[in-house]
Amino acid sequence: MNLVPIRRALLSVSDKAGIQELAEALQAISCEIISTGGTRKQLDNAGIETTEISTVTGNPEAFGGRMKTISFNIESAILFDRDRDAEEAKALNISPIDLVVCNLYPFKKVMEQGSDFETLIENIDIGGPTMVRAAAKNFKHVAVVVDPADYTELIAELKANNGALSYAFRQRLMAKAFNHTADYDAMIAVAMDKELGKQSLRLSFDNGLGLRYGENSHQKAVFYRETGDKHTLADMRVLHGKELSFNNILDIHGALEAIKGSTGVACSVVKHNNPCGLAEGKDQRQVLELAWDADPISAFGSIIAFNTTLTLDTVKFFELDNADKSLRKFVEVVIAPKIEADALEYLQLHKNLRVIELDVNDLKFNHDYRYLNGTLLTQDTDDILFDKMDSATDIQFDSTGEQDLVEFGLRAIRSIKSNTIVIVRRKDGCLQMLGMGAGQPNRLIATKLAIEKCKENLNRELGAQAISADAFISRELGAAVLISDAFFPFEDNVELAAAEGIRKIVQPGGSIRDKQVVETCNNLGVAMLMTGIRHFKH
């Protein structure tokens, strides 16, 4: 294990959480504790004996604390090679420091508080990163701890190894230390650029997870999480199933985006990163069935997400235990904030089905990033559904009575590739996406696809009802709402929708032909609502 006994430690921390407990553990193994400033004061007040750092450096703390730890004696005690340089260190009267515990001045905290430039400068740590990097470089002989979260494991290691630390533990701490100082310097560099009016961005990712494959089976793929972020996709809890692929991750994201912001019990069914089914209501099983029925063929091999605890009654919809295997519904991934034990047991009947716990409400991010061949695009997240709800036509659009349905449809188009048309309706007390046209370069084609999907679904739903198909479809489309992710450049979309029975349309507006489009609505008896917000997704 290549154990290193910890006989002498240097403690100098900005974040003092847990430092007393750690010092007590070091005291218990008769370790000399060297300390500085506020850290030493806290330990002394707790009755823990410390050595003032000035007795090691031979110099006082100076210049308002700017000079404390930077010295030949301190850096040498951390950095000299115990095997090669022992005799030289002895001749120079350098006693080794075996452990450095240091976290840096809170630059991020003061920056986020909007502090002035001088305060930012004073919160740039110099001595801390120097000690941390020296200890990390010499990890064969020295341990370095930069995160209070590691104190518990450090104390456990000391107890297990009679006051010593293993090579493997020191090596992990070393890697974390170098990442810590790299992120710290990157943050300062970005802040200094900002002071000069320059735009720069440095992102850090860690905990890479190898995936089954990339978009295609011949491509390798790795899944990283952004350093320091909490509640990310990487925090999903995989309870069952085979290894995730690149496409699974993209579709999981798409499924969660589709139900983000839902106020009721919601379910999305996603295929190739687009929701082919989406519903919202009060009963989870009913909502799943409505989402599935929007496109049962595309739902084969889909990713399904919920925003409420998943129950056994809901998952029995998949008929995984049906003796007739042809009736079992095949899905790739099921996601919910929590999955009840009996529901999990039932889902495990499918050995490869990925079952994941992740709460969409925990995923709150302010920016989107897109990496493009050595360049990076960044933008605010699309989290504003509408700017207004203005009825633009002679026939008034009931924006108050239909607001929940309109907002449901806007959340849908926000998560679907442009050009997008969705048609949404009320069904048995729920909100359902009845049909959609996605990813089309021509908006008219998107409108045609959405209407065709609606008619297909309605014909299947009609069954043996004592009403003609044309009358049933006309009635349902007449009560539905068609929503466009961007303005209509021409009147043809309205003419097509009206010819099929659509009587309510929502669009952002903003075209030079808005007036003609509204006039066409008036002539055809269609109510139109303008929202003022476009929802392109490329």
Residue positions annotated with a catalytic role: 137, 272
SS3 445: helix
Question: With contact defined as beta carbons under 8 Å apart, do 512 and 536 qualify?
Answer: no
Q: Residues near 266 by Cβ (< 8 Å), separated by ≥ 6?
A: 259, 278, 279, 280, 287, 306, 307, 308
| Sole residue written with tokens 């404390």 | 68
Burial of 120 (0-12, 13-18, 19+ CB in 10 A): middle
Angle at 39 between CA 38 and CA 42, to 5 degrees: 85
Burial of 471 (0-12, 13-18, 19+ CB in 10 A): exposed
Q: Residues near 339 by Cβ (< 8 Å), separated by ≥ 6?
A: 239, 309, 310, 347, 355, 357
Question: With contact defined as beta carbons under 8 Å apart, do 84 and 67 qualify?
Answer: no
Question: With contact defined as beta carbons under 8 Å apart, do 338 and 310 qualify?
Answer: yes
Report the C-alpha gap between 527 and 397 in whole angstroms: 5
- Give the torsion sign (CA, 436, 441, 447, 449): negative
φ, ψ of residue 414 to 5 degrees: the values are -60, -25
Q: What is the 3-state secondary structure (H, E, C) of 413-424?
A: HHCCCCCCEEEE
Report the C-alpha gap between 455 and 124 in whole angstroms: 64
Report the C-alpha gap between 175 and 67 in whole angstroms: 27
| Sole residue written with tokens 């056994």 | 312
> Kind of pairing, strands 265-271 and 302-306?
antiparallel
Tokens at 218, concatenated = 């011949």
Dump the DSSP string for 229-284: --S-GGG-EEEESSPP-HHHHHHHHHHHHHHTT-SSEEEEEEETTEEEEEEEES-H
Report the C-alpha gap between 469 and 461 in whole angstroms: 10
Q: Residues near 501 by Cβ (< 8 Å), separated by ≥ 6?
A: 473, 474, 477, 478
Whether cis (ω within 30° of 0) applies to the bond prior to 93 is no
Q: In the chain, how many H helices and how many E strands?
A: 19, 23
Question: With contact defined as beta carbons under 8 Å apart, do 288 and 317 qualify?
Answer: yes
* CB contact burial 24-46 (16+ within 10 A = b; e otherwise): ebbbebebbbbbbbebbebbeee
φ, ψ of residue 354 to 5 degrees: the values are -80, 125
